[in-house]
Structure 1
């Protein structure tokens, strides 16, 4: 670090000397405090990012007149925005420092969250207004590429797999939180004074219900404000310095590109399916499949006698929950055993679980028993995909700090996370323009390619970059 950089970055916010590899001087308490606060705010970021995925499947039940394609776009746009914004956030840690970056990012979440809470109450809200709110939700996705590299500055390499796994994994729980909390929190007027109730049409054969759908968004605003205050008052910044041009030296390494491909396989799959799981379930096994249900609203008729139509909101949180849990639980194992081996395990598991799920992407509507059996195959296959993607998310974040030096590792983490964040967008567009079976076949091919790369470059005996 240059003398000029030290002189510029004086003050209570900036640590004047910081070396996590020196056990005698490393401030463990500060490191874990930073991890705790940034993880809390990252949960809120993910909840904001995936708010559209929790709200969109029920918009037509609330009286919104949107097509299946428009609903896919609403759940896809946060992925496009998140990926673009991560390209910005990835360069912010050395420029802004941890405290300012985390504080201001957290406050920005208010805009999409407040907007969704207001506009979801009016069924005449245009598709374009909600699409803009979906784009703004990408702020929460962009945060990841700033928060993770920033946190990596505070921990020694031997603990980075655990620390980054905990932060990313618990942060990923924000997806399950918003999808699990939404169907419960909308059921009563806890904060009903902020808006009136609405009538939501039930599943075929079920009566309408009174809901306060604005609660799904408004519930997070107090926690966003708390997170911003905690970040501003308790966080410090490590004086790691690099301008934008210097940070782009990561692109001269071939390993940046190999790890980008692999992280698309893991986090791209996790984020993409997290955003589209509910709509995919609805369109294959629920009210969105015209071979199962005819008509909409109160006129909906079940065409397969004896079949119980699954409500996506009762299942959709399970996938992100499994994926996030795997990331947390397997992170310590990657510190002990290395990340590359687990990345190979992740790839092989994804190949097998995607192939299993493909057998249930064309539901057998000949009978209720056949349809129910196919649904179970689909559900368990999807959960297996989430499991192995979560394992890979943990292992790749162990690999990158081992492959690259500290400043570069932060940049590579930010870059790979940015590209993989396009997952919700790519999955949404892919499921709009092609059949699920074709899209999943492409997923298998991608997983085979990435597994071979992980084995040859990082995992095998004598690999060029063992990690």
Structure 2
């Protein structure tokens, strides 16, 4: 069925029909009468599918720790952990447009069922002691399919909610996905210990089928959903998009990178404490739960101020991790790593809050409030921010790949993670300086413009 046909056959009543032709979430009467219930139902099943996407995306962070029988080097294992991050980041751009192109319900069903590929192939790989390393790399790469789910899920939910309620809905959607990293690291050591390594993939199959069935029977497609690839191309040409992509590498990229690297770091650098891998889930749990605090603080203090000081805290946390590893102090290492992932979570919330504020400030600069031109500028700012967010979230996710490769390369070259940690601290120092220069600096603002006055 095409979108045109769907619009002709849609009943116009939310919940009755797979395609909805009449969807007006910003109309208060429509929203309270029928829209809210339908949007909430779609959000619930979107969160379920996205949560599973994150679990399959990061399942190799635990499986890699259990591959001792294959005699892979630590660097090779970090390659296995890092490839899903690389593929998932790249898939975020096309996945952003999928709900509008194919329908949110339809794409949620398809993207959920695609998770069967990495789940089943994982079980096949670990069931054969002769599986070559290249096959592990290829199969781990398919887990990147789960990484793309975040982009399509967030884009889809945006269409369902009125502008005034999108923040809360998207926050719940994002948190539900991010917690998937924690749930996989909590459950998989228990599942593998009880049923074997293949169960790390097969365990998720019934849940994937349940999520696909839930989306099929209870979600809807919207004919009003519009994909704007040209707007994203325009966004990619704006300096603010790339500045925020850099900062998002430092926040969300750090969250996903440290979360997936943590179990393997424990196993490789503190082998005598390998049993503590079962507590690795606490890192991503803290980072996910604390993410809304970054947004909350940003609403009160300004996103740039929170991001600025948070990068300073991340530098301190990295130095603490380095000190703990140098002294081979596992207790300090564990606490410092919790702090590092936690600050990444705060920054995740604050940088995400900055994006719409930046594009709004740029759009309304010099325009008189209360005029038709101002209202049009506000709409332009929202459109530009929406296009930029998809691009920024994709680029930022590549940080997960860089962090895992940084650890792997450092350990292979020097025997320890010190070189990687030094590089990460230097990168956060760069982000600290860029945040100040672009969004907090008042000195020399006439010569080099800054958005400090807008308190983004």
TM-score (norm 2): 0.82
For 1:153 and 1:390, the matched residues in 2 are separated by 26
| Aligned counterpart, 1:302 | none
Structure 1 residue 320 corresponds to structure 2 residue 312: no
User: Residues 416-446 of structure 1: CA distance to partner in whole angstroms, max 9, x if unpaired?
Assistant: 2211222332122222323522222222222
Deviation at 1:86, TM superposition (A): 1.5
- Hey, what does 1:72 align to over in structure 2? 78
Q: Which residue of 2 aligns with 1:463?
A: 452
State the match for 1:375 in structure 2.
Answer: 330
Residue 379 of structure 1, CA deviation: 1.0
Change (3 A) 1:17 1:396: farther
**Residue 170 of structure 1 contacts residue 328 of structure 1 at CA under 8 Å; is this kept in 2?**
no
Corresponding residue number in structure 1 for 2:323: 359
Aligned to 2:111: 105
**1:126 equivalenced with 2:136 (yes/no):** no
On the 8 A contact 2:307/2:350 being kept in 1, the answer is: yes
Q: Aligned pair in 2 of structure 1 residues 8, 232: CA closer, same or farther (>3 Å)?
A: closer
| 2:415 counterpart of 1:438 | no
Aligned to 2:430: 449
Once residues 314 and 150 of structure 1 are traced to their aligned partners in structure 2, the CA distance between those partners, rounded to angstroms, is 34
Post-superposition shift, 1:449?
2.5
Distance 1:311 1:255, change over 3 A: same
- Aligned residue for 1:422, secondary structure, equals helix
CA distance in 1, matches of 2:243, 2:29: 36
2:259–2:284 contact (8 Å) kept in structure 1: yes
**Is 421-430 or 334-343 further displaced after alignment?**
334-343
What SS does the corresponding residue of 1:311 show, helix, strand or coil? helix
Partner of 1:271: 256
1:73 offset after TM fit, Å?
A: 0.9
Tell me the equivalent position of 2:202: 218
Which residue is equivalent to 1:386?
341
**Cα distance change, pair 438–188 in 1 and its aligned pair in 2 (3 A):** closer
Give the Cα separation in 2 of the matches to 1:253 and 1:159.
Answer: 27
| Unpaired stretches in structure 2, ≥5 consecutive residues | 11-16, 360-380, 411-415, 443-450
- Structure 1 vs Structure 2 CA RMSD: 2.5
Query: Aligned partners of 1:332, 1:396: CA distance in 2, in Å?
Result: 12
Which of 136, 148, 159 aligns to 1:142? It is 148
Deviation at 1:31, TM superposition (A): 2.4
Check whether the contact 1:86–1:145 (CA below 8 A) recurs between aligned residues.
yes
Greater RCO (Cα-Cα under 8 Å, separation 6 or more): 1
Q: Match of 1:40?
A: 48
- Which 10-residue stretch deviates more, 317-326 or 344-353? 344-353
Q: Which stretch shifts more, 87-96 or 65-74?
A: 87-96
Judge conservation of contact 1:152–1:410 (CA < 8 Å) in 2.
no
Is the contact made by 2:303 and 2:455 (CA closer than 8 Å) also made in structure 1?
Answer: no
1:23-422 correspondence runs (5 A): 23-26=28-31, 27-60=35-68, 63-189=69-195, 212-238=196-222, 239-286=224-271, 309-332=273-296, 334=298, 339-362=303-326, 364=327, 371=328, 374-404=329-359, 405-422=381-398
Distance 2:286 2:219 in 1: 30
C-alpha contact (below 8 Å) 1:75/1:424 kept by paired residues: no
Residues 1:228 and 1:433: Cα distance change in structure 2 (over 3 Å): same
Output the CA distance in 2 between the equivalents of 1:70 and 1:135.
Answer: 14
CA distance in 1, matches of 2:41, 2:297: 23
Superposed CA offset, 1:133-183 (max 9, x none): 111000001111221122223334443333222211221111111111011
Rounded to whole Å, the distance in 2 between the matches of 1:344 and 1:409 is 21
Q: 1:349 to 1:18 in 2, by over 3 A?
A: farther
In structure 1, how many angstroms separate the alpha carbons of the residues matched to 2:176 and 2:439? 27
Is 1:45–1:109's contact at 8 Å kept on the other side of the alignment? yes
> Does the CA-based 8 Å contact 1:144-1:414 persist in structure 2?
no
Residues 18 and 221, structure 2, Cα contact 8 Å, conserved in 1 = yes
- Once residues 338 and 31 of structure 1 are traced to their aligned partners in structure 2, the CA distance between those partners, rounded to angstroms, is 30
* Equivalent pair of 2:318/2:425 in contact (CA under 8 Å): yes
Give 1:264 deviation, angstroms. Answer: 0.5
Whether contact under 8 Å (1:111, 1:136) holds in the other structure is: yes
Contact kept in structure 2, 1:350 and 1:385, CA below 8 Å: yes
The alpha-carbon distance between structure 1 residues 347 and 19, as it changes in their structure 2 partners (threshold 3 A), is farther
Structure 1: any 5+ residue segments left out of the alignment? 190-211, 287-307, 365-370
Cα separation, partners in 2 of 1:388 and 1:184, compared to 1, 3 Å? same
The number of residue pairs the alignment matches comes to 410
CA contact (8 A) 1:77 1:424 kept: no
Query: How far apart in 1 are the matches of 2:227 and 2:192?
Result: 46
- The alignment partner of 1:248 has SS state of helix
Q: Secondary structure at the match of 1:188?
A: helix
